[in-house]
Structure formats: structure tokens, C-alpha cells
């Protein structure tokens, strides 16, 4: 870039993945006739599940069975 800013190597990987996710969601919306509220609800549920396991891993990297709120 001309302003001296260097783009992180993962930037384009993440942008491509975001584009693919957007395409998949558009296909799901059309195929199933979902509303915005319905697809948002589905995404929120999935994010909560993924986040639960991310927190478990962050807090207890050596014990994946231990819940995130356990000491």
C-alpha cells in the first residue's frame, strides 16, 4: 500500500472466508425461506456454542471437559 501500512498475512484469508460464509448464508436463506430474525437466531445459537468451547480451551487448555466457569 502506498501509505506504508502492511496488511496482515491472514487478512485476505479471513476476507475470503467471510465472502464464502455470506454466500452460504444467502443460499440457506433462499432455500429455506428464512427471515432475517430466523437466520440471526440460528447464527447466535451457533456462536454461543463455539464460544463456549473457546472459553473452555482458553481457561483449561489441559482439560477440555472442564467447564469455562469452573476453577
Phi first, then psi: give them for residue 45, nearest 5 degrees. Answer: -60, -45
* Number of domains comprising the chain: 1
3-state helix, strand, coil in the chain (%, to 5): 65, 0, 35
Cα 40 from Cα 25, distance rounded (Å): 10
pLDDT confidence band for 68 (50 / 70 / 90) = confident
Cα 2 from Cα 22, distance rounded (Å): 30
Name the pTM for this structure: 0.68
**Beta carbons of 34 and 28 less than 8 angstroms apart:** yes
**Domain assignment of residue 43, yes or no:** yes
**Domain assignment of residue 69, yes or no:** no
In this predicted model, what pLDDT tens digit does every residue of 22-58 receive, in sequence order? 999 999 999 999 999 999 999 999 999 999 988 988 9
**Domain assignment of residue 50, yes or no:** yes
- State which residues form the domain around 51: 34-62
Amino acid at each position: 500500500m502506498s501509505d506504508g501500512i502492511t496488511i496482515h498475512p491472514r487478512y485476505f484469508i479471513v476476507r475470503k472466508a467471510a465472502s464464502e460464509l455470506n454466500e452460504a448464508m444467502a443460499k440457506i436463506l433462499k432455500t429455506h425461506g428464512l427471515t432475517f430474525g430466523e437466520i440471526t437466531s440460528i447464527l447466535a445459537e451457533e456462536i454461543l456454542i463455539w464460544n463456549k468451547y473457546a472459553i473452555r480451551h482458553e481457561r483449561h487448555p489441559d482439560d477440555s471437559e472442564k467447564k469455562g466457569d469452573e476453577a
